[in-house]
Amino acid sequence: MKKGFASDNNSGVHPAIFKAMEAANKGHVVGYGDDPFTQKAINVFKEKFGTDTAVFFVFNGTGANVLSLSTVTQSFHSVICAETAHIQEDECGAPEKFTGCKLIPVEPIQGKLTPATIQPHLKGFEFEHHSQPHVISISQVSEMGTVYQVGEIRALAGLAHKNNMLLHMDGARIANAAISLDLDFKEFTVDCGVDILSFGGTKNGMMMGEAVLFFNPGLTLNTKYIRKQSMQLYSKMRFVGAQFLAYFENDLWKKTAIHANNMAKLLRAEVAKIPEIEITQPVDANGIFAIVPREIIEPLQNSFYFYIWDDTKPEVRWMTSFDTTEKEIFEFVAIIKELLTAGSRTFQVR
Amino acid sequence: MKKGFASDNNSGVHPAIFKAMEAANKGHVVGYGDDPFTQKAINVFKEKFGTDTAVFFVFNGTGANVLSLSTVTQSFHSVICAETAHIQEDECGAPEKFTGCKLIPVEPIQGKLTPATIQPHLKGFEFEHHSQPHVISISQVSEMGTVYQVGEIRALAGLAHKNNMLLHMDGARIANAAISLDLDFKEFTVDCGVDILSFGGTKNGMMMGEAVLFFNPGLTLNTKYIRKQSMQLYSKMRFVGAQFLAYFENDLWKKTAIHANNMAKLLRAEVAKIPEIEITQPVDANGIFAIVPREIIEPLQNSFYFYIWDDTKPEVRWMTSFDTTEKEIFEFVAIIKELLTAGSRTFQVR
Amino acid sequence: MKKGFASDNNSGVHPAIFKAMEAANKGHVVGYGDDPFTQKAINVFKEKFGTDTAVFFVFNGTGANVLSLSTVTQSFHSVICAETAHIQEDECGAPEKFTGCKLIPVEPIQGKLTPATIQPHLKGFEFEHHSQPHVISISQVSEMGTVYQVGEIRALAGLAHKNNMLLHMDGARIANAAISLDLDFKEFTVDCGVDILSFGGTKNGMMMGEAVLFFNPGLTLNTKYIRKQSMQLYSKMRFVGAQFLAYFENDLWKKTAIHANNMAKLLRAEVAKIPEIEITQPVDANGIFAIVPREIIEPLQNSFYFYIWDDTKPEVRWMTSFDTTEKEIFEFVAIIKELLTAGSRTFQVR
Amino acid sequence: MKKGFASDNNSGVHPAIFKAMEAANKGHVVGYGDDPFTQKAINVFKEKFGTDTAVFFVFNGTGANVLSLSTVTQSFHSVICAETAHIQEDECGAPEKFTGCKLIPVEPIQGKLTPATIQPHLKGFEFEHHSQPHVISISQVSEMGTVYQVGEIRALAGLAHKNNMLLHMDGARIANAAISLDLDFKEFTVDCGVDILSFGGTKNGMMMGEAVLFFNPGLTLNTKYIRKQSMQLYSKMRFVGAQFLAYFENDLWKKTAIHANNMAKLLRAEVAKIPEIEITQPVDANGIFAIVPREIIEPLQNSFYFYIWDDTKPEVRWMTSFDTTEKEIFEFVAIIKELLTAGSRTFQVR
């Protein structure tokens, strides 16, 4: 099928990952994670994040976020997040439904939270009428394509811990963030004070499967029950374990994420030359947000599909992927230019 | 790895299904089910169950059951099921957590519910103090390896509908039941009055993915939101669609289920010859329950892994799978006999 | 209005309690429990149950049970109770809805649980597929009018604690139980190992308001939030505090409960003389269960209202109250006799 | 006890209401609302709001709001409310816990929502990833002491209905609003398109008990079960019925609300003369918000207790009640003046 820029989850599975799944498809193994693939994959995570890390595999990103939050909250808690956060905007209320907690959306700055914007919501502690603030949740990469810098994460972790709260990171695109920051995963998560991490792979070449990492094993006494009760315990889990093993082998994840980010840089550079288009957010990773002339959107979508982010402006979102090619970028940009020219001709004719 | 009789989900993926997934791994498709594989797979289900069938794919069996129940209940309802039902015993309370409903466990007869055993629980209608009975849920194949006959299903559907209730079928092993009954899926589900069906594939050769089928499309106005909120909406859903297409192509599902059932028949026949072993349930499909001398259990598990079902008797469960071989059955039986002989020698020595 | 034997909550408020509420109706006090009436009442409970007791007032019995269970459970837990328990039969699923837990109903013997009937349900510990048994909940007086003896409670507490579980007592009619046992409250609750107690007053002369008592204060770190979130925090709480103060002053509760129990004894004694009526349960407190000829039920209800408990037998329930009079008992018995005589005449005429 | 301006629920019960409760305390009546007091009170509400009104009594305001929302939502819905709304700030997450819905807080203007501020949140309809906007909830009187005018309510109802949504009004202080608007209850609720109303009495002289009114009886098919499951079904409900009968008899509610509002006007007028104090919100009903010099707050609270609303400014809230006296107002103002003078002397001395 025709490729596009709709989402990095519209791409398929990286061939090396597929091959690893096939290799795992031999004989019987015990279900639900007590198999060698899963156990080895857990160990790889421990190598990367520290031996104290508790690792739980789930099916998808929403499941990862809900398991993260469920493990550390009670229903009278609140979770502070960006207004644009996936847990706020794109999970159909799964966090509220499953945790019972209140989500407190905060207007982000370039997709990101800051201590200053969070501070006014840190109130009502010990007051039984008020949902108790308990978690700050940030997305890395943010939903606006921006990346939290190390100092920013440290500051948020400090704020959280000072208030006896926890810092959760939704890392659906954490590989793209790592490349953007040029850091190991550990350096901008556990080392910065992140307490819980939803570690995503699906958007960077895996078929399905995410990992939830807890950096304080004292938190996870009950996580296995919560995972099962939240319908996220996979019977043939070896196929998630095998994927993660391939994902980390020879730094495959790095190659795919570098490529996706590079494609976004290229697209940004090309689009920046087009005066009719305004790039609205820093392009830190593999997403580009831009205001484009309304009349070209639909014809452009017919060539390369993508989503309108904010119809009022109109702002669109273009995501690049591990399998995006330079050729596609140039083809896409060429069509933009053509449509703009055609459009201006149309206007002249009028 | 060494194969065993622990569960039909300890097996891997049927090669034909794997191949279909690989074929689907080309280019981009829209996520979350709006892709040609998913759409075609939905149509296959409509062909098999009737065009009015509403089809929703989810990740796993617990997800399928919870989506089934969530769609048709409100939190003040109750769900009547067998004491041995997967939703009662093996989902860590996911149905209660997600629906808020009360589950009413009923002592089954050979794993099955009957109108007579359900009737005493059909009370308190319109009485606001009492959870309102709303769903009868049965498992086909039952958790005790038995299969509901057409007349039994009709009777339960009749009872449900007479009381303005619905009949749900947990079909985690529905293929094995179809073979056992020698009927098309439709003939013992929608044709018998089943309202909602969790249609499983994972235990019969798929990697993951189940379908929830609603035979009254009026029920499913909100199911898509409930699926997302219950964390069961898969982004790269083409890989479930592609599996189901392969599963139904050339009746692959039939071949795998026939084989698994035949292996169970063979094992039953062989074990029936061993006087120290008592088969406790009718072997209708691919599961055998048997009381075996306690002293052989552990050494036997070391050769072919399986689960103890009821330690007090002790009763064990042996599940056969699409990839079980005759050779394995005979090897297993031989080891049983050897252990029994060795055991009796040991006793003599004492 | 005409009095009857429907329920001890069909009676009004004891005059002394009403007077105390009136006395409390002066000036302003801080809301939500930070008032002198509430604080004094809490202290009275501490005197009666031990200074370590944590006391939380709520509106009603269902609220008390739900707060009890919510405080000590997580959603993957299960709660074992009698099939006849109020939490199972008469709260419209509030415990499941609010706690997310599974309730496991056990067939009671004369309304009561025993270690032997509970034991088969104490399974699946540490197994993530299975709701984790965490609470045993008993009703004192039981829903069948029987009273747990000290040894029975100790045995259940022992069983619970041996399995790292807790024992909850639904004491909606705890005053009637105390009279029946001729013990102080403490002697058959905290002294026997009860961990959490729903202490009811409404059925023994109060207007509304129940207390939830936790005998291990380590359990109640979050109870205040849970109470508020479960809609059970009363703004003008002084009116519950004032009631409990009056309830305990000069052992008012004892007088009302002794009277109710005595009226039940009288009714039992009188009814025992009627051969057409079979008393089905021990009359330990203020409830009588009896099988009566079907034809007299409706005309009898027209004189003194009461409920049919089990229409198949038919078994009825007669509850006496603090305001039941001897005259009413004798009048009721006379009408029974008259109806039976009239009935036998009718039969003869036929 | 010393009176203050902390909250209108710090006052007691109006004597006429108390007397009516006493009169209702005779004999037996059926529990849970099937008594003459409750039935008569329901009829009074039907007279005032229209015969199609469905009326459900509950214990308290949080219970009323939760029953309102639970009746009309499913868990994948969202509820739009002011950032200051009681359901958002002061119910410890009860709405999320019980409904599973997402609450979307909107920055209010003088405590009130407008179509323009709501509009940006009316998005994602039919998009399964997004919680579906289903209810707009407003507070009348608002939490900032302001009152929605008829045109404002109509506009919000229009916006809601245009989007197939419902308008809920939290009327904890609806009597004060009616007086402020000089309208019958019906004229600014059902006549303006309000669909569901939490009708409060506790803050205007009742002991406890609120009514939830649904103006479209088609909505309430299941409300009785939801009320029971939400622990809000009162056994001795006659005592709520009797209160509401007294509340409406001879327009008692009007006298108490007029008085409370008048006391607020008087306090505003007196305080307006004090240059050091800035009144921050229109005083439409019985609440006054003011920024006062920080140093007088604590000594002032020692004389007449009240709450700090926003410590950063610092802004305080003074609520008047049905039992506030002119004398108290003048005494309070005198103490303010005295403290300010003393304060300025202190500053001079420094």
Residues near D242 by Cβ (< 8 Å), separated by ≥ 6? Answer: D20, D21, D23, D24, D37, D41
Which of the residues D173, D231, D240, D320 would you substitute to probe the C interface, choosing the one with the greatest number of C C-beta atoms within 10 Å? D231
pLDDT at residue C217 in the model: 83
Average pLDDT over residues C302-330: 96
D131:A104 CB<8 A: no
Helical packing angle, A15-24 and A238-248, nearest 10°: 140
Kindly report whether the peptide bond that precedes residue D141 is cis, defined as omega within 30 degrees of 0: yes
pLDDT at residue C349 in the model: 46
Chains with 3 or more CB pairs under 8 A to chain B? A, C, D
Contact B192, A226 (CB under 8 A): no
Q: Pull the structure tokens for residue B156.
A: 């339960």
* Tally of residues, chain C: 350
Q: Give A101's contacts in chain D (Cβ within 8 Å).
A: 93, 96
Q: What is the dihedral of CA A270, A12, B29, B249, to 10 degrees?
A: 160
D129:B228 CB<8 A: yes
Nearest to D222 among B74, B226, B229 (CB): B74
B93:C102 CB<8 A: yes
If DSSP states are collapsed to H, E and C, what string results for chain A?
Answer: CCCCCCCCCCCCCCHHHHHHHHHHCCCCCCCCCCCHHHHHHHHHHHHHHCCCCEEEEECCHHHHHHHHHHHHCCCCEEEEEECCCHHHHCCCCHHHHHHCCEEEEECCECCECCHHHHHHHCCCCCCCCCCEEEEEEEECCCCCCCCCCHHHHHHHHHHHHHCCCEEEEEECCHHHHHHHHCCCHHHHCHHHCCCEEEEECHHHCCCCCEEEEECCHHHHCCHHHHHHHCCCCCCCCHHHHHHHHHHHHHHHHHHHHHHHHHHHHHHHHHHHCCCCCEECCCCCCCEEEEECCHHHHHHHHHHCCCEEEECCCCEEEEECCCCCCHHHHHHHHHHHHHHHHHHHHHHHHC
B98:A98 CB<8 A: yes
Per-residue pLDDT of chain A (350 residues; tens, 9 = 90+): 578 999 999 999 999 999 999 999 999 999 999 999 999 999 999 999 999 999 999 999 999 999 999 999 999 999 999 999 999 999 999 999 999 999 999 999 999 999 999 999 999 999 999 999 999 999 999 999 999 999 999 999 999 999 999 999 999 999 999 999 999 999 999 999 999 999 999 999 999 999 999 999 899 999 999 999 999 999 999 999 999 999 999 999 999 999 999 999 999 999 999 999 999 999 999 999 999 999 999 999 999 999 999 999 999 999 999 999 999 999 999 999 999 998 776 654 44
Handedness of CA B323, B325, B329, B332 (dihedral sign): negative
Q: Are residues B299 and B174 in the same domain?
A: no
Nearest to C225 among A32, A128, A224 (CB): A128
Alpha-carbon span D81 to D143, nearest angstrom: 12
Contact C100, B96 (CB under 8 A): yes
C211 occurs within a structural domain: yes
D8 occurs within a structural domain: no
pLDDT at residue D342 in the model: 85
The Cα-based distances of B330 to B269, B336, C245 in angstroms read: 11, 10, 77
C7 occurs within a structural domain: no
pLDDT tens digits for C198-238?
999 999 999 999 999 999 989 999 999 999 999 999 999 99
Average pLDDT over residues C254-280: 97
Q: Give A229's contacts in chain C (Cβ within 8 Å).
A: 75-76, 100
Q: Which of C192, C226, C251 is the last residue of a domain?
A: C251
Q: Give B93's contacts in chain C (Cβ within 8 Å).
A: 75-78, 100-102, 131
Q: Are residues B245 and B279 in the same domain?
A: no
Query: What is the span of the domain harbouring residue C21?
Result: 15-251
A76:C233 CB<8 A: no
Nearest to A11 among B6, B22, B28 (CB): B28
Looking at this predicted complex, what is its ipTM? 0.96
By three-state DSSP, how is residue D195 classified?
coil
C8: amino acid identity, one letter: D
Nearest to C10 among D13, D31, D63 (CB): D31
Q: Residue B246 burial by CB count (10 A; 0-12/13-18/19+): exposed, middle or buried?
A: buried
**Among candidate residues C70, C85, C87, the one with its CA nearest the CA of residue C231:** C70
A96:D96 CB<8 A: yes
A229:C76 CB<8 A: yes
Alpha-carbon span B211 to B171, nearest angstrom: 10
Chain C positions touching chain B (beta carbons under 8 Å): 75-78, 88-93, 96-97, 100-105, 124, 128-131
B89:C130 CB<8 A: yes
By three-state DSSP, how is residue D246 classified?
helix
Contact C136, C118 (CB under 8 A): yes
Strand-pair partners of A196: A168, A214
How close does chain D come to B71, measured CA to CA in Å? 10
Which of the residues D102, D125, D311 would you substitute to probe the A interface, choosing the one with the greatest number of A C-beta atoms within 10 Å? D102
Alpha-carbon span A171 to C255, nearest angstrom: 65
Which of the residues D128, D134, D220 would you substitute to probe the B interface, choosing the one with the greatest number of B C-beta atoms within 10 Å? D128
Q: Give A32's contacts in chain C (Cβ within 8 Å).
A: 128-129
The Cα-based distances of D72 to B6, C230, D77, D112 in angstroms read: 46, 19, 10, 22
Chain-centroid distance, C-alpha A126: 33
Q: Are residues C175 and C26 in the same domain?
A: yes
Over its C-alpha atoms, chain C yields an Rg (Å, rounded) of 21
Q: Give C128's contacts in chain A (Cβ within 8 Å).
A: 32, 224-225, 227-228, 233
How close does chain A come to D42, measured CA to CA in Å? 30
pLDDT tens digits for D204-246?
999 999 999 999 989 999 999 999 999 999 999 999 999 999 9
Per-residue pLDDT of chain B (350 residues; tens, 9 = 90+): 578 999 999 999 999 999 999 999 999 999 999 999 999 999 999 999 999 999 999 999 999 999 999 999 999 999 999 999 999 999 999 999 999 999 999 999 999 999 999 999 999 999 999 999 999 999 999 999 999 999 999 999 999 999 999 999 999 999 999 999 999 999 999 999 999 999 999 999 999 999 999 999 899 999 999 999 999 999 999 999 999 999 999 999 999 999 999 999 999 999 999 999 999 999 999 999 999 999 999 999 999 999 999 999 999 999 999 999 999 999 999 999 999 998 776 654 44
D93:A128 CB<8 A: no
Confidence (pTM)? 0.96
Q: Pull the structure tokens for residue C313.
A: 């037998």
Alpha-carbon span A4 to A300, nearest angstrom: 10
Contact A93, D78 (CB under 8 A): yes
CATH number of the domain enclosing C311: 3.90.1150.10
Angle at B32 (CA atoms; ends B26, B33), nearest 5 degrees:
75
pLDDT at residue D349 in the model: 45
Give me the numbers of helices (H) and strands (E) for chain B, helices first please.
13, 11
Which residue positions in chain D have pLDDT lower than 70?
Answer: 1, 345-350
A75 occurs within a structural domain: yes
D231:C30 CB<8 A: no
Q: Which of C209, C226, C251 is the last residue of a domain?
A: C251
B228:D75 CB<8 A: no
Q: Pull the structure tokens for residue B299.
A: 């050494």
Could you identify the residue written with the tokens 């009026």?
A: B218
Work out how many CB contacts closer than 8 A connect B with C: 61
Nearest to D9 among C10, C207, C236 (CB): C236
Nearest to D76 among B128, B132, B226 (CB): B226
Angle at A94 (CA atoms; ends D137, A204), nearest 5 degrees:
135
Q: Residue D350 burial by CB count (10 A; 0-12/13-18/19+): exposed, middle or buried?
A: exposed
Q: Residue D120 burial by CB count (10 A; 0-12/13-18/19+): exposed, middle or buried?
A: exposed
C340 occurs within a structural domain: yes
pLDDT tens digits for D16-66?
999 999 999 999 999 999 999 999 999 999 999 999 999 999 999 999 999
A208: amino acid identity, one letter: M
B322 occurs within a structural domain: yes
**Among candidate residues B230, B177, B201, the one with its CA nearest the CA of residue B14:** B201
Q: Are residues B72 and B164 in the same domain?
A: yes
Nearest to B1 among A6, A11, A28 (CB): A28
- 3-state SS of chain C: helix, strand, coil percent to 5? 45, 15, 35
Q: Are residues B77 and B165 in the same domain?
A: yes
C3 occurs within a structural domain: no
For chain B, the domain total comes to 2
Contact B260, B321 (CB under 8 A): yes
Q: Give B94's contacts in chain A (Cβ within 8 Å).
A: 228-231
Q: Are residues C59 and C25 in the same domain?
A: yes
| Cβ atoms within 10 Å of B129's Cβ, excluding its own | 18
Q: What is the dihedral of CA D200, D205, D206, D210, to 10 degrees?
A: 0
Q: Pull the structure tokens for residue B117.
A: 């055993």
Q: Give C102's contacts in chain A (Cβ within 8 Å).
A: none
Q: Give A102's contacts in chain D (Cβ within 8 Å).
A: 88, 93, 96, 103
Q: Are residues C239 and C271 in the same domain?
A: no
Q: Are residues B314 and B189 in the same domain?
A: no
Q: Residue B164 burial by CB count (10 A; 0-12/13-18/19+): exposed, middle or buried?
A: exposed
Q: Pull the structure tokens for residue B119.
A: 């009737």
Residues near C68 by Cβ (< 8 Å), separated by ≥ 6? Answer: C168, C170, C196, C197, C198, C212
Could you identify the residue written with the tokens 């208030």?
A: A163
| Cβ atoms within 10 Å of C264's Cβ, excluding its own | 26
C128:B103 CB<8 A: no
Q: Give D226's contacts in chain B (Cβ within 8 Å).
A: 75-76
Helical packing angle, A252-272 and A174-181, nearest 10°: 70
D208:C239 CB<8 A: yes
Q: Are residues B166 and B72 in the same domain?
A: yes
Q: Are residues B85 and B97 in the same domain?
A: yes
How close does chain B come to C143, measured CA to CA in Å? 14
C228:D27 CB<8 A: no
By three-state DSSP, how is residue C78 classified?
strand
Q: Give A222's contacts in chain B (Cβ within 8 Å).
A: none
Nearest to A102 among D77, D96, D124 (CB): D96
How close does chain C come to D302, measured CA to CA in Å? 13
C5 occurs within a structural domain: no
Q: Are residues C235 and C292 in the same domain?
A: no
Q: Are residues D25 and D144 in the same domain?
A: yes
Half-sphere exposure of A316 (CA within 13 A, CB side): 22
| Cβ atoms within 10 Å of B299's Cβ, excluding its own | 14
C229:A129 CB<8 A: no
B222:D76 CB<8 A: yes
Q: Give D10's contacts in chain C (Cβ within 8 Å).
A: 28-31
DSSP characters over D79-124: EEEETT-HHHHSSTTHHHHHH-PEEEEE--BTTB--HHHHGGG---
pLDDT at residue A350 in the model: 43
B75:C97 CB<8 A: yes
Q: Which of B227, B251, B275 is the last residue of a domain?
A: B251
Could you identify the residue written with the tokens 């939502």?
A: D73
**Residue in chain B lying closest to A66 (CA):** B231
Average pLDDT over residues C122-126: 97
Residue C2 pLDDT level (bands cut at 50, 70, 90): confident
D317: amino acid identity, one letter: R
β-strands A278-279, C196-200: how paired? Answer: unpaired
Work out the end-to-end distance of chain B between its first and last CA atoms, rounded to an integer number of angstroms: 37
C222:A128 CB<8 A: no
Handedness of CA B201, B202, B208, B213 (dihedral sign): positive
Helical packing angle, D252-272 and D174-181, nearest 10°: 70
What is the percent of chain C where pLDDT is above 90? 96
CATH number of the domain enclosing C187: 3.40.640.10
pLDDT tens digits for C144-192?
999 999 999 999 999 999 999 999 999 999 999 999 999 999 999 999 9
Work out how many CB contacts closer than 8 A connect A with C: 40
pLDDT at C347 over 90: no
**Among candidate residues A252, A258, A256, A270, the one with its CA nearest the CA of residue A318:** A270
Q: Give A104's contacts in chain D (Cβ within 8 Å).
A: 105
